[in-house]
Amino acid sequence: MIVAVPDFELSTRLARKVLPKHISIKDAIFNISRASILIAALVEGREDLLPLAFDDAIHQPYRKKLVLGMSEVFEAAKAAGAIGAATQKL
């Protein structure tokens, strides 16, 4: 797993501002299924399911516009063998 911490501050207000006011049922179901997969993977020790658990349809597609290179970092992490990648605000 890779956790990328950008070398700049991103205000919570700005990060929330780029999110849509409404999300589709499809995106909500997608993210709920990914959270369920994460729990199942951790409870059952199913590392093979973890790559699916890192997919996101609600915040990453919108916030990646604020974090230059985020998509490239995620792709490079996966290409290097990481199970998943995520950003973290400090």
pTM score: 0.77
d(CA 59, CA 70): 13
pLDDT over 70, % of the chain: 92
Mean pLDDT of the 39-54 span? 93
pLDDT of residue 2: 64
Q: How confident is the model at residue 68 (pLDDT cuts 50, 70, 90)?
A: confident
pLDDT of residue 12: 87
